[in-house]
Chains A and B, each alone.
Chain A
Amino acid sequence: MEEEQEAEEQERFSSQQRLKAAVHYTVGCLCQEVAADKEMQFSKQTIAAISEITFRQCENFARDLELFARHAKRSTINTEDVKLLARRSNSLLKYITEKNEELAQLNQERKVKKKKKPEDGNQTCREPAEAEGGEAES
Chain B
Amino acid sequence: MFIGWDSEAGLRGGRTETVVMERASAGFRKNHCFWCPWSCGWLALSPPSPQELVSRLLHLHFRDDRTKVSGDALQLMAELLRIFVVEAAVRGVRQAQAEDMALVDVDQLEKVLPQLLLDF
Interface residues of A (CB under 8 A from B): 10, 13-14, 16-28, 30-32, 34-35, 38, 40-50, 53-55, 57-59, 61-63, 65-66, 69-70, 75-79, 81-83, 85-86, 88-89, 92, 95-96, 99-100, 103-104, 107
A contacts with B: majority SS: helix
Q: Which of B39-65 contact A (CB under 8 A)?
A: 40, 42-43, 47-48, 50, 53, 56-64
Determine the chain B residues whose CB is within 8 A of the CB of A88 once the complex forms.
118-120
Are B84 and A78 within 8 A (Cβ)?
no
Are B102 and A40 within 8 A (Cβ)?
yes
A74 to chain B, nearest CB (A): 9
Are B90 and A38 within 8 A (Cβ)?
yes
Chain B contributes a number of interface residues (CB within 8 A of A) equal to 66
A115 to chain B, nearest CB (A): 18
Are A96 and B81 within 8 A (Cβ)?
no
Are B70 and A66 within 8 A (Cβ)?
no
B contacts with A: majority SS: helix
Interface residues of B (CB under 8 A from A): 1-2, 5-6, 9, 12-13, 15-16, 33, 35-37, 40, 42-43, 47-48, 50, 53, 56-64, 66-70, 72-73, 75-77, 79-86, 88-90, 92-93, 96-97, 102-106, 108-109, 113, 117-120
Residue of B nearest to A50 (CB): B88
CA distance A78 to B50 in the complex (A): 18
Assuming the contacts A25-B40, A42-B89, A66-B67, asked whether A103 and B103 have C-beta atoms less than 8 A apart, the reply is no
